[in-house]
Amino acid sequence: MTHSQTPAAPPATLFLFGASGDLVKRLLVPSLYTLFRAGLLAPGLQIVGIDRVPGDDESFRQHLGDFLAGQANDPAAETGEIDLEQWPAFAQCLHYIEGDFTQASTYRQVTRTIQASATGNALFYLATAPRFFADIAERLGDAGLLQQDAEQYRRIVVEKPFGHDLASARALNERLLAVLSESQLYRIDHFLGKETVQNILVARFANVLFEPLWNNHYIDHVQITAAETVGIEQRGSFYDKNGALRDMVPNHLFQLLAMVAIEPPAAFGADALRSEKSKLLGAIRPWTTEEARHNSVRGQYRAGLWKGEPIPGYRDESDVAADSHTETYVAMKLMIDNWRWAGVPFYFRTGKRMGARDTEIAICFKPAPYAQFRDTQVDRLESNYLIIQIQPDEGIWLDFEAKRPGPTLDMETIQMGFAYEDFFELPASTGYETLLYDCLTGDQMLFQRADTIENGWRAVQPFLDAWQEDDRVDDYAAGEDGPASANELIERDGRMWHPVGAVTGPDQTARRKSNLRRHGNVS
Ligand code: BG6
């Protein structure tokens, strides 16, 4: 978003259902405040929190203001350093309705609020527990609050998780689409708000360099990793019912997959892009339950050390069953049966309490033919890797072979890199700024369509079925990069994981090389 050229979103009333929750406090309101400071919210925008927790406009403003003040000077905060000068002006946009989501009186108050506003535009953001999503939408529908016309829009934003399996995602889509149209529905995945995720499409489609190589003739395999050092924080009761696969794979990791693997869309518009994504996810080979078991590994962290600090095991976290078999780590392999990707395995892994924070896509190219090096010191050629790093250090890194100086022909893997921060100023962002702006302006490009969501769940359903029958989970110590069985999963195909945390900016090249050496990738 280039702020200088971006117009402010039109005035509207933004209702935040679940206003006393963490998401509103930690991410949504700070992001709205950032948009406000950037001049991207129209003066008439009103933000109305709704929740059962007793409160009024004043206490709501105070609660959010106190939180931001606590973050303001903390460079490590999700929101980055925040200048609070404009907070008093912004706080005037904040209002609160104390109400139960299941009571008609709450919706009467919503109606009165819209009637009293200068605009009929209304955006209903469901930042609630998922069991309320369909109920709230139906009640809004019953109250006539979802009827829009050319003068005024009515939209619903649905947070994740969108369903907990294929059947529940379908059922949720059905109930929502019975009361509003797809064009009014914004299913959010905050990974799509990350600049580097969006940059994947620009790198692929705005340069001639990559796309000719971007297929099964040149690419050996792709690895998509989201390694986290954090544990489950205060979310034991949610996490223990869901686990790593549901929490991360059909949503966040599949967004990365889609960006890296879709066909070029006919235009950079919501319909064209979302159709390509749906097509791609629809082409994932449906494993049988047996194949899914064979192609996946579940892990759970036990007590361990991270940077010398003792970390408790998952089963000792609060709100987690003492004999829990929930996975905090998953690794899996998928195949995409289309012309571009047939025969190219896609490996995924994500986990909590791993050794380093690292979200990346590693594209491993096929090695060049060796023949001409037969009579040299070089005994084999390494594969070139292209690493698209999403976080923490955003950039793109390319490994290739270079001649080591000296009289004989010998070579070494070196790295060419583009670090975002070397070229652009990256304002601290939660990822929600772009997405909130887009729902206020009506751009659905970065939101999930019903068919994409269902195709995603369809691809992971065999794993859920397999684990229902056999919920074995292998352990790994907190601070390690997953269980040993995850290495076996990829090594039995003659490949190896790209080391977690190996690419973290040019000054880390040495660490990375030593990692690769350890893994036998560098001679
Ligand atoms: C959330 C998951 O959707 O994404 C969390 O529920 C996870 O478990 C988080 O930690 C990761 O997002 P990010 O932006 O911190 O990488």
For ligand 1, atom 4, the nearest C-alpha belongs to 248
For residue 448, report the distance from its CA to the centre of ligand 1, in Å.
17
What local confidence, expressed as pLDDT, does residue 152 receive?
A: 96
Ligand 1: residue whose CA is nearest its atom 8:
247
Do 126 and 251 fall into the same domain? Answer: no
- Nearest protein Cα to ligand 1, atom 14: 191
Atom of ligand 1 nearest to the CA of 239: 8
Nearest to 26 by CA among 287, 235, 240: 235
* Domain final residue, candidates 107, 142, 159: 159
Strand, helix or coil for residue 16: strand
Residue 475 lies in a domain: yes
Q: Are residues 200 and 155 in the same domain?
A: no
Please report whether residue 277 resides in a domain.
Answer: yes
Name the residue of 195, 228, 357 whose CB sits within 8 Å of the most ligand 1 atoms, as the mutation to test its pocket: 228
Residue 304 alpha carbon to ligand 1 centre in Å: 22
Task: Name the nearest CA neighbour of 352 among 473, 511, 217.
Answer: 473
Distance CA 210, CA 213 (A): 6
As averages over each run of 10 residues, the pLDDT of the chain (523 residues) reads 73 97 94 94 94 97 94 70 89 97 97 94 97 98 96 96 97 98 97 91 95 98 97 93 97 97 95 97 98 98 94 97 98 98 98 96 94 86 94 92 91 92 82 95 96 98 97 97 98 96 57 43 39
Answer yes or no: is 293 within a domain. yes
Distance 104 CA to ligand 1 centre (A): 34
CB 473 within 8 A of CB 327: yes
Instruction: Tally the domains of the chain.
Output: 2
Helix pair angle (166-179, 133-142), 10° resolution: 10
Residue nearest to atom 15 of ligand 1 (CA): 228
Show which of 159, 176, 203 is a domain's final residue. 159
Q: What is the distance in A from the centroid of ligand 1 to the CA of 127?
A: 15
33, 83: one domain? yes
| Atom number in ligand 1 closest to CA 247 | 6
The pLDDT value given to residue 427: 73
Cα-to-centroid distance, 435 and ligand 1 (Å):
16
165 within domain boundaries: no
What atom in ligand 1 is closest to the CA of residue 194? 14
Atom of ligand 1 nearest to the CA of 190: 14
Rounded distance between C-alpha atoms, residue 144 and residue 127, angstroms: 21
Same domain, 126 and 271: no
Domain boundary among 112, 142, 159: 159
**pLDDT of res. 393:** 87
Strand order in the sheet with 358-365: 411-419, 395-403, 385-391, 358-365, 219-227, 345-351, 329-335, 296-302, 474-477
Q: Could you tell me the distance, in angstroms and rounded to a whole number, from the CA of residue 60 to the centre of ligand 1?
A: 26
CA of 358 to the centre of ligand 1 (A): 12
Residue 80 confidence (pLDDT): 66
Name the residue at shortest CA distance from atom 13 of ligand 1.
191
Residues 296 and 445 in one domain: yes
Closest ligand 1 atom to residue 391 Cα is 16
Smallest CA separation from ligand 1 atom 6, residue: 247
Longest dimension (CA), the chain: 84
Q: Are residues 434 and 497 in the same domain?
A: yes
Mutate to test the pocket of ligand 1, among 22, 197, 252 (most ligand atoms within 8 A of CB): 252
Give the CATH number for residue 14.
3.40.50.720
Do residue 357 and residue 407 come from a single domain? yes
DSSP state, residue 373: G
| Residue from 22, 28, 248 whose mutation best tests the ligand 1 pocket (most atoms within 8 A of CB) | 248
Q: What pLDDT shows up at residue 518?
A: 38
Determine the atom of ligand 1 nearest the C-alpha atom of 235.
8
> How far apart (Å, rounded) are the C-alpha atoms in residues 48 and 60?
10
- Parent domain of 38: 3-159
CA of 405 relative to ligand 1 center, distance in Å: 45
Name the residue of 191, 238, 359 to mutate for ligand 1: max ligand atoms within 8 A of Cβ.
191
Cα 351 to Cα 327: distance, rounded to the nearest angstrom: 9
Q: Which atom of ligand 1 is nearest to the CA of 357?
A: 16
CA distance 336 to 346: 8
Same domain assignment for residues 143 and 282? no
pLDDT of residue 367: 92
pLDDT of residue 429: 79
Ligand 1: residue whose CA is nearest its atom 5: 247
Nearest alpha carbon, ligand 1 atom 12: 191
Question: Which three-class secondary structure string do you get for 264-280?
Answer: CCCCCCHHHHHHHHHHH
Burial pattern 399-419, b for ≥16 Cβ within 10 A else e, equals bbbeeeeeeeeebebebebeb
In order of 28, 132, 133, 189, 345, the CA distances from 159 in angstroms are 11, 11, 9, 7, 30
Overall size of the chain counted in residues:
523
Ligand 1: nearest atom to the Cα of 251: 3
Q: Which residues line the pocket of ligand 1, CB cutoff 6 A?
A: 160, 228, 247, 359
- Which residue owns the Cα nearest ligand 1 atom 2? 247
Tell me how far the alpha carbon of residue 119 lies from the centroid of ligand 1, in angstroms. Answer: 35
Query: CA-CA distance, 514 to 508, in Å (whole number)?
Result: 10
Task: Decide if 155 contacts 436 (C-beta within 8 A).
Answer: no
Q: Could you say which of 95, 190, 252, 498 is catalytic? A: 252
Please tell me whether residues 204 and 98 are part of one structural domain. no
Q: How far is the CA of 145 from the centre of ligand 1 (A)?
A: 32
Residues 339 and 467 in one domain: yes
CATH of the domain at 299: 3.30.360.10
Q: Is 252 a catalytic residue?
A: yes
Is 169 part of a structural domain of the chain? no
Q: Considering the domain boundaries, does residue 447 fall inside one?
A: yes
- Domain identity same for 98 and 218: no
**Same domain (yes/no): 211, 296:** yes
Residue 405 maps to a domain: yes
Q: Is residue 315 part of a domain?
A: yes
